[in-house]
Amino acid sequence: MNAKFLRYLFKRLFMAVLTIFLVIAITFFVMHAIPASPFSSEKAKSDAVIAALEAKYGFDKPVPVQFINYLGNILRGDFGLSTGWVGNTVSELIMGGFSYSARIGFTAAIIAIVLGVILGSVAALRRDKLLDKIIQVITTALVSMPSFVMATLLLLLFALQLGWLPSLGNQPGGLVLPVISLALYPMAYVTRLQRSSMLDVLGQDYIRTAKAKGVHNSKLIFKHALKNTLTPVITYAGPMMAYILTGSMVVENIFSVPGLGRLFTNSMLRTDYMMIMGVTIFLATMIILMNFLSDILYKVVDPRIDLG
């Protein structure tokens, strides 16, 4: 924790906060560029009702004032009131949905990283052998499959044709398929990363030295190589978060999981602008924070990296 690192930390934190601010600004002004008022699309109401609603939500004030208010409210954790689910605040809905999405997403991420690291290492250690080729073919196929194709195919095969697992998320064991559909793509990606990074490390001088000293094979891999191969995987944490969060939009719809992704697509159907804004900002903040954390962690674990 030297001064150089602290300076990098603050610089990176400033960038993250700036990006979150930009996302809020983009979200706010894009939503306000929509000609239709958030309330005009609903059932015919009298002008007085609309005016009252607009005053209640603060839509009668000038846009910059609204933006400052909105920003201030977000800092207090208040994303406003939902118009699609009347009587709920956006924050309540987000938290309700997030408890499902976080469980699925977290499990998927753990599975993806653990299996990916194992498969990638195995492929690298058995380089050009049959096992390596099989792993390579499968991962190449998996990264070419969009999340919705993966999820619907899994649903078709395991829930509808074979009947092994339930097709709905609220049934017992119903979260297995959503987790698998979310985990496969990042798992394949981590496998490829891990394979090339393991090959890279195994070719380095210090490994040859350790071999020459007579270090046992398993000790060589677990003690000397593995630690250094994990740094590229850390950098993938941010993009993986982005994939899992956006992927959950389709996966939760397909398996009817009442999570954040399903909430988001439903709020688009109900043209609930406050919800769309709230969820976009919430998801973006999660992704940006994850990127920030993985960047910092990357520098912490690998001191060779230059702190530009």
User: Residue with structure tokens 């939009």?
Assistant: 249
User: Which residues ranging from 50 to 69 are in contact with other proteins (CB under 8 A)?
Assistant: none
How many C-beta atoms surround the C-beta of residue 81 within 10 A?
A: 19
Work out whether 250 is an interface residue with other proteins (CB under 8 A): yes
Q: Which of 187, 198, 230, 254 binds other proteins (CB under 8 A)?
A: 254
Q: Which of 5, 9, 31, 296 binds other proteins (CB under 8 A)?
A: 31
Helices (H), 143-175: 147-154
Given a contact cutoff of 8 angstroms between Cβ atoms, the answer to whether 281 and 74 are in contact is yes
Q: Which of 50, 102, 111, 143 binds other proteins (CB under 8 A)?
A: 143
- Which CB, 187 or 276, lies closer to other proteins? 276
What span, in angstroms and rounded, lies between the C-alpha atoms of 51 and 58? Answer: 10
CB of 130 to other proteins, least distance (A): 17
CB of 140 to other proteins, least distance (A): 7
The 8-class DSSP code of residue 168 comes to S
Q: Which stretch binds other proteins (CB under 8 A): 15-23, 58-66, 171-179, 193-201?
A: 15-23
Work out whether 234 is an interface residue with other proteins (CB under 8 A): no
CB of 276 to other proteins, least distance (A): 6
User: Which residues ranging from 279 to 298 are in contact with other proteins (CB under 8 A)?
Assistant: 280, 283-284, 287-288, 291
Work out whether 248 is an interface residue with other proteins (CB under 8 A): no
Work out whether 23 is an interface residue with other proteins (CB under 8 A): yes
Q: Which of 13, 55, 153, 301 binds other proteins (CB under 8 A)?
A: 153
3 state DSSP class of 41:
coil
What span, in angstroms and rounded, lies between the C-alpha atoms of 25 and 235? Answer: 27
Q: Taking Cα atoms as reference points, which of 97, 90, 107 lies closest to residue 281? A: 90
- Which CB, 6 or 153, lies closer to other proteins? 153
Given a contact cutoff of 8 angstroms between Cβ atoms, the answer to whether 193 and 232 are in contact is yes
Q: Which of 123, 135, 154, 155 binds other proteins (CB under 8 A)?
A: 155
Give me the 81-110 binding string for other proteins, x by CB under 8 A, dash otherwise.
------------------------------
- Tokens coding 79: 């994303």
- Tokens coding 155: 């649903």
What span, in angstroms and rounded, lies between the C-alpha atoms of 280 and 255? Answer: 22
Site residues (vs other proteins, CB under 8 A): 15-16, 18-19, 22-23, 26-27, 30-31, 33-36, 140-141, 143-149, 152-153, 155-156, 160-161, 242, 246, 249-250, 253-254, 264-265, 268-269, 276, 280, 283-284, 287-288, 291
